[in-house]
Structures are given as structure tokens and as C-alpha cells.
Chains A and B, each alone.
Chain A
Amino acid sequence: MIGGLSEKKKLAKKTDAAIEAFKTERLRWVLGISQVGPKVDEQKYKAVSSKIMKDEIDRQMIIGEIKEKGPRTIKELSEATKLNTKEVLRHIIALRKIGIVSEAGEKEGGYLYKASE
């Protein structure tokens, strides 16, 4: 029963992340592009848009985790999101660049990341 509950909780988290992801401008733009017109490179668009969708949902899971629990390390974020550490680091570097997350000290041999004000 307990296992089932935590599975449900994880699914809820992922759904929340997906909802948040679809609220982001980046994803809305990408989904909107397909209606923009003949200029768009159709093949490239298909490949890129699915990658962007996955990235945005993963990033919302990371942001959600940090917002809920406070500063987190790459390792902790990896455990919470089930994404591997390398992927989490890639997302952190991208989120850091646009000012969404920043470093907040160290913990157990890794940097902590917080949501930027």
C-alpha cells in the first residue's frame, strides 16, 4: 500500500511538472510554431520539439523539487527525479544560464542549488 502511495505521489509530481512545463513560454512557443506556416523546417521541428518537451518537463520537476524542499545537490535531485546525474547537471547548467537557479553553498561533496529570487 505504502509503495503504491509513493508511486501515486511520484506520478502526481510528474503531472504537476508537465502542467508547469506547458505553462512555460518556451514550450508554448514551440507548440505554436507548427501553426506559424511553411517556413518551419518540418523534420527538424519534429525532432527538436519532442526533445524540448521532455527537457521542459524534466526541468519543471527539478525546479519543483528545489522549490518544495529548498536547496538541493545534483545527487539529491537525481534521486528525486529519477534522472541520471549527468542529465540533472545539464539542466542545472541551462537553468543557471537563464537565472532560474544559482549555487547556495555545498553539501556532502556537491554544490547546492537554490531557486534564484
Chain B
Amino acid sequence: MVGAGVAGIQAALRLADQGFTVYLVEKNPSVGGRVAQLSKIYPELDCASQTWTPRMIEVAKHPNIKLLTYSEVKDIRRQGDIFKVKILKKPRFVDENKCTGCGVCAQHCPVEIANDFDERIGVRNAIYVPFPNAVPQVYTIDREHCLKCGLCQNVCMSKAVDFQQRPETIEVEAGAIIVASGFNPFDPRKHDEYSFSRYDNVITGLTLERLLSLSGPTGGHVLRLSDGKIPKRIAFIQCVSPGNPKSGKIYCSEVCCMYATKQAELLKELIPDADITIYYAEPLVSDERFEEYYKKAKTEYGIKCFKTRLTEVVEKPTHNLLIRAVSESGKPIEHEADMVILSTGLVPSASDFVDALRLKLDDGGFFEAVDSDSNAIQTSTEGVFVAGAAEGPKDIAKSVKQADAAALKASAYLRKLGEVKTTPTRRS
């Protein structure tokens, strides 16, 4: 199983429960993937952390799951019916078996840097867990920023800090592979007409998630990064996605309309007198699951939606932003906002084993599915399945459903191969 985000966790638990041994490989120090960064999940507005932390803990505890975090799948070769998988276990410089996650090391670490997990709003030390509920609760030393001062080593009661650790290559054999490597948010610097790189108050949807998150760097208080003011006029810009926005996108990321609507509602609850506008160029995604949701946003929350062609965003000396656009009837519009949120789309996360397995990718760079039915989980290589956003942009509910289907197909495939030893377990 490549990747331990929602799809990877879901499929791993399904297969492990049936008694298959699952190697769950995650490149980051913690499992959870993108969902760990989110505040609330639409449409029910469940707390992302409350929903997913128990499942993250389950994969770590499951007797049939061998969890390899801070590890990357470097190569996969087919040999007859089996796959030989080369996994690089990156050195944490902290012994996973000894670290208790007490955090005394981080309290003593003098180095402080921007935390990528918090979209660089929050800070972390050179020895760190990316977020409080990280699984496993094991610290990692970021050697790029570490001074090698040894304070963490001196204060660690379990003697877990080990500067001598080296990268380790692990080889495992697998009957089937499920790729659940997820997505990255599109980097809006790639076409910068909305001035994301220049202005502090132009932020991405994911940064807003960190601001909205109760365990985030501001404890759920949304403020402007330029001056800490509470934004009263907030504008969302949709379809900040790969491809030239003026000539059209390569593909629709499917989730941005809904997450922007959700964020607009959460903001309205947090800042009741906020004036919120969503600017979109193309029709909002029509998904019967969410018709009511859009309606409620407009009627109950008073969120305004405008179809416009955006031209630019410029900053005033007050750090307020001027949004310039052209309306449907061709009239130029100028709107001042305190904060602009770019609803960035989803792009595929890179993998090292695509060529070795001769996996086909689609135009957007996602793994192409070749199923004859509507499941979209069978890749161009037999025995290799795909689930979640690795196959194409999709939300959490759809990723989980696809992961269930992938586990089912992988299980059927493995049973057909025969001679698999399974030890089914029942989880409490």
C-alpha cells in the first residue's frame, strides 16, 4: 500500500481485517495525509481530526499492518506473480522503538522554523512531530535545520536520539500493490496573476484550513497574515488550477467548489458580520449530493456568488486587496477585500515507480484506470490497483468508497493467485 492518507488507511484496514499482511508505506513522518490538515469535513462538518485520528491509530496498532512511516517506495519490479518492492526508510535520527513521544526534546530544541504542515504559518523545532495527533508519536530530526547541538540527546530519558542513523533499504515481496499516493495542492505561484507570491493576505484554501483548525497555529482564529486583523470582506477565487486559466483548465478538481462553500459557511459562523463573495468563471460543480448545500450557503448564510472573468488582484497600502474582474455582461468590476482565498485545485503527487511498473497516466498526470466497470481502480498493470486522489481529484467520501472497492478487488486478485496465508482478525 503506497500512501497512508484516507484511501490508504481505509484500504489497508479492509485488507488487514481479512487477514492479509499489509505493508503500509508513508513518506511523511505521520500517517493521515491531507485530511490531517483539514478543519472540518463537508457536508456534515464533522471534525476531521475526531473522525480520522482513531483510524490513524488503528493502522498503527493492527497486527496485520506493517506500518513504515517516513519511508518511500523507490522501486517495484514484477517477478512472476509477485512484486519485489524496494522501500527507502529515511533516518529520523530518533529510534522509533525507544521514543515515547513525550516531547521534552522539542521543548529544549533552540531551532525554530516554519512548519510545512501548517502551510508555514505555524512554527516547529528541528526535532518535531508535524502535528499534535501525529501517528506514530515519534519525533523526527530535520537535519537540514538541526545544529547538532545535542541538547535533545542530553534531555531524552529514553536515549532515543541517534545521530548515527543511516538510510535503510527494505525489500518486501507483495502479491498486489495499491497506489494511494494522493495529491498535492496546486501551487498558485505557477501562474501568479492573483499575486499569491507577493501579498500576505492572498492565501490558499489549505492555508485557510490551518487557520480554521482548532488545533492549528492560531487555534481556529482566522486573521490576516499581514497585520493580524480579523477579515470582514473575504473573497474566494475559484478554479486556481493547472493549465492556463484564461484558455481553460486541463481538468476539474471537483472538490474546490464544495470546500470553498464549506469554508465560507465556517467563516460566516466565526465572523457573523463578514461579507463573503465567491468568484467563479465556470459553472459550479453540479453534484446532486450538494445541491442543498449551495442553496443554504446563499439563502441562510448570505454568501454571494458571482460569475466573472478575473483579471487581477492588486494590493493597496492598507494591505487590502483590489479584485478586478469583468462581469458576464462585459462590465468591469472592482471589489475591495481584506482577504483573498485562492481555491487551488489538486495535482498528482509524484511517484518513483511509475516507469518500472509501466503504469499509464492520464492527461493530468493521475494514474489511469482501465476497469471495464465504473470502479476505476485497476491500473494498466495487472495486480496494481489505485485508490483515492491518486486516480484523479476526488473528495474524502469518494476516496473512501474507492478504497473499499480497491481492497475488494485486490483481495479477489490475491485469492485467485492462491497460496496466500491469511489470519483474519477482529478489531475491537
Q: Which A residues are within 8 Å of any B CB, using their own CB?
A: 25-26, 29-30, 33, 36, 39-41, 44-45, 48, 52, 55, 73-75, 78, 85-86, 88-90, 92-94, 96-98, 102-103, 106, 109-111
- C-alpha gap A86/B218 in the complex (Å): 14
- Do residues B147 and A44 form an inter-chain contact, with CB atoms below 8 A? yes
- Do residues B147 and A33 form an inter-chain contact, with CB atoms below 8 A? yes
7 inter-chain pairs at a CB distance below 8 angstroms, sorted by A residue, are A40-B147, A40-B150, A55-B112, A75-B228, A86-B227, A93-B123, A111-B221
- C-alpha gap A25/B110 in the complex (Å): 9
- Do residues A93 and B121 form an inter-chain contact, with CB atoms below 8 A? yes
Which residue of chain B has its CB nearest to the CB of A86? B226
Residues of chain B from 132 to 177 with CB closer than 8 A to chain A in the complex: 146-151
Residues 207-232 of B, flagged 1 when their CB comes within 8 A of A and 0 if not, give 00000000001110101011111101
Contact of A89 among B107, B151, B227 (CB under 8 A): B227
- C-alpha gap A85/B226 in the complex (Å): 7
B108 within 8 A of A: yes
- C-alpha gap A73/B230 in the complex (Å): 11
Dominant secondary structure of chain B at its interface with chain A:
loop
B364 within 8 A of A: no
Contact of A110 among B110, B149, B229 (CB under 8 A): B229
- C-alpha gap A33/B152 in the complex (Å): 12
- Which B residues are CB-close (under 8 A) to A88? 228
Residues 100-143 of B, flagged 1 when their CB comes within 8 A of A and 0 if not, give 00000001101110000000011100000000000000000000
B200 within 8 A of A: yes
Q: Return A43 CB to nearest CB of chain B, in Å.
A: 10
- C-alpha gap A52/B108 in the complex (Å): 13
Contact of A93 among B110, B148, B217, B230 (CB under 8 A): B217
Q: Return B116 CB to nearest CB of chain A, in Å.
A: 15
Q: Which B residues are within 8 Å of any A CB, using their own CB?
A: 107-108, 110-112, 121-123, 146-151, 200, 217-219, 221, 223, 225-230, 232
- Do residues B223 and A111 form an inter-chain contact, with CB atoms below 8 A? yes
10 pairs of A and B residues whose beta carbons are closest in the complex: A74-B228, A85-B227, A33-B149, A30-B110, A89-B228, A39-B148, A94-B123, A93-B217, A109-B229, A110-B229
Q: Return A14 CB to nearest CB of chain B, in Å.
A: 21
- Which B residues are CB-close (under 8 A) to A93? 121-123, 217-218
- C-alpha gap A105/B147 in the complex (Å): 39
- C-alpha gap A84/B147 in the complex (Å): 28
- Do residues A103 and B230 form an inter-chain contact, with CB atoms below 8 A? no
- Which A residues are CB-close (under 8 A) to B112? 52, 55, 94
A94-B112, A96-B219 given; A74·B147 CB < 8 A:
no
Q: Return B230 CB to nearest CB of chain A, in Å.
A: 5
- Do residues A109 and B230 form an inter-chain contact, with CB atoms below 8 A? yes
- C-alpha gap A62/B405 in the complex (Å): 55
- Which B residues are CB-close (under 8 A) to A89? 223, 225, 227-228
